[in-house]
Amino acid sequence: MKVRVFVSLKNGVLDPQGRAIHHAIEGLGIHGVKDVRAGKMLELEVDDSVTDAQLDTMAKQLLANMVIENYRIERVAA
């Protein structure tokens, strides 16, 4: 089964990358975008036996740095 882990910066953590992307969007001549925050999405192919608790452990201990990031786990139906 496919699992997606979305990792995003916590509120208040400076995101220079998002700011640069925002600037580039303005360069496209498109206005009205107020802010951009860049994150990452990891796609895992896992056995059905992998539990929610194990996914949580993976996210907490490795995929996200809890000092600066939040994560959200999504199981994708096959």
Partner 1 sequence: MSGFASAVITFPGSNCDRDMADALEKVSGNAPHRVWHGDAALPDGLDFIALPGGFSYGDYLRSGAMAARSPIMQAVVEAAGRGVPVLGVCNGFQVLTESGLLPGALLRNAGMNFVCREVRLTVENSQSLFTSGYSAGQEVLIPVAHHDGNYFADDATLDRLEGEGRVAFRYAESVNGSARNIAGVLNAAGNVLGMMPHPERMIEAEQGGIDGRTLFESAIKGLVGA
How far is 1 from 16, CA to CA, in rounded Å? Answer: 34
Stretch that binds partner 1, among 29-37, 47-55, 56-64, 70-78 (CB under 8 A): 56-64
Antiparallel, parallel or unpaired: β 40-45 and 69-76: unpaired
Out of 65, 72, 74, 76, point to the residue binding partner 1 (CB under 8 A): 65
Please tell me whether residue 35 binds partner 1 under the rule CB under 8 A.
no
Regarding 27 and contact with partner 1 (CB under 8 A), the answer is: no
- Which residues, including other chains, have CB under 8 Å from residue 75's CB and lie 6 or more apart? 1, 2, 3
Q: Which residues bind partner 1 (CB under 8 A)?
A: 13-14, 16-17, 20, 61-63, 65, 67-68
